Amino acid sequence: MSEATIKKRRPVKRWIILALFAVGIYAAFIGPSILKPISPVVVVPPEETGLSILGFPITNTILATLITDVLLILLALGAYRFSKRGSLVPSGFYNAFETIVEFLWNSVEGTVGKYAKRVFPVVATIFLLVFVANMVKLVPGFESIGRLQEVHKGTGYAPVQLFQLGSLGVFTIDKGHPVAHAAAEGEAHSEGEEVAHGEEGAAELCQSCEVVPFLRGSATDLNFPLALAIIAVFMSQVYGVWALGPSYFEKFFQFKQLVSGGIFGLINFAVGFLELFLELAKILSFSFRLFGNIFAGALLLSILGALTAVALPAGLYLFEIFFGAIQAYVFFLLATVFASMAMVSHHGDEHGSDHH
């Protein structure tokens, strides 16, 4: 590249970034209060979106999980169509997907050996589901766009209508006009009318408002990691029975040791029940590890994003991408290890080949 070409180049990207910083600083600290970010209401249970299927209410975490499922199905269909083309060298997105699948396969094969073909579909599906769910929740709009409702307690904010789309009004809440819940329950006084900014539609919604998001990260709902944990632990028992046959249950119910082992047989019999308890404890360990880490990450991103609305959230997003991938891999790896442990005899020798 010639020196003349280098001199003609304009630092366009640099100016775009600086302009975005300036807009962020103006919106968060200088501009109207309706542009300023507001710390979210911390609620552990999932919230209803107002949608339902056959009378079953759809929560914001269920809706996010359905979106994740659709993306995974589209991903699988795309990979299947690519495999039918006959091309041996993937590129772009498919190359990245092949790298992830190959990495997962090597991890499973290195852990369970000859049983990899049986174990891989389950644990790889768990990884992809958790990974995509953790990435989807970072899309702008998650946990920030939703419906307004009256706060249950504490302080909410006055609603302000932004614009009208046909019969649908689009509102926001004004950080510069906090409204205590107790005041909202009373009669609307002159101050309350001033807070409503003269918007009759906003006043009909609520006086002390909070946002119930339409979408929330799947793993921030304890039901999501709990369901995956139950599946992972249950499938480890299935793999154990498949590899070892009925003798797999001897590690839980050691009746032979009880009858012929004397005092040590009694101890081994009690240890068997302890092993059964530990299998159930794996479900709690699985569930709360993923739920606690992802929920804490979402809370940290939301609160710090409201306090320091410029620069820091971008770094936190990079951290969340890394952390979401790590949590998905930890869940996947533990599920693989537990399946491998289940397929090894409690005597220490593998004899699953007789039951292949």
DSSP 8-class letter at 140: T
Please report the pLDDT score of residue 248 as a whole number: 78
Please report the pLDDT score of residue 236 as a whole number: 92
| Spatial contact of 179 and 197, defined as CB atoms under 8 Å apart | no
For residue 319, report the phi and psi dihedrals to the nearest 5 degrees.
-65, -40
- Whether 227 and 271 map to the same domain: the answer is yes
Please report the pLDDT score of residue 183 as a whole number: 58
- Whether 152 and 136 map to the same domain: the answer is no
Please report the pLDDT score of residue 340 as a whole number: 92
- Whether 239 and 332 map to the same domain: the answer is yes
Taking 50 as the pLDDT cut, the residues of the chain under it are 187-203, 350-356
Determine the Cα–Cα distance for residues 298 and 295; give it in Å rounded to an integer. Answer: 5
Please report the pLDDT score of residue 330 as a whole number: 94
Instruction: Tally the domains of the chain.
Output: 2
Please report the pLDDT score of residue 190 as a whole number: 44
Measured in whole angstroms, how far is the alpha carbon of residue 231 from the centre of its chain?
17
User: Packing angle between helix 116-136 and helix 223-244, nearest 10 degrees?
Assistant: 170
Query: In the listed set 212, 238, 256, which residue is the last one of a domain according to the structure?
Result: 212
Query: In the listed set 212, 228, 249, which residue is the last one of a domain according to the structure?
Result: 212
- Whether 229 and 292 map to the same domain: the answer is yes
Please report the pLDDT score of residue 258 as a whole number: 61
- Whether 129 and 164 map to the same domain: the answer is no
Query: In the listed set 212, 244, 268, which residue is the last one of a domain according to the structure?
Result: 212
- Whether 327 and 243 map to the same domain: the answer is yes
- pTM, entire model: 0.83
Neighbours of 193 (CB within 10 A): 12
Neighbours of 260 (CB within 10 A): 8
- Whether 244 and 267 map to the same domain: the answer is yes
Structural domain including 175 reads 147-212
| Geometric angle at alpha carbon 268, from 263 and 272, rounded to 5° | 150
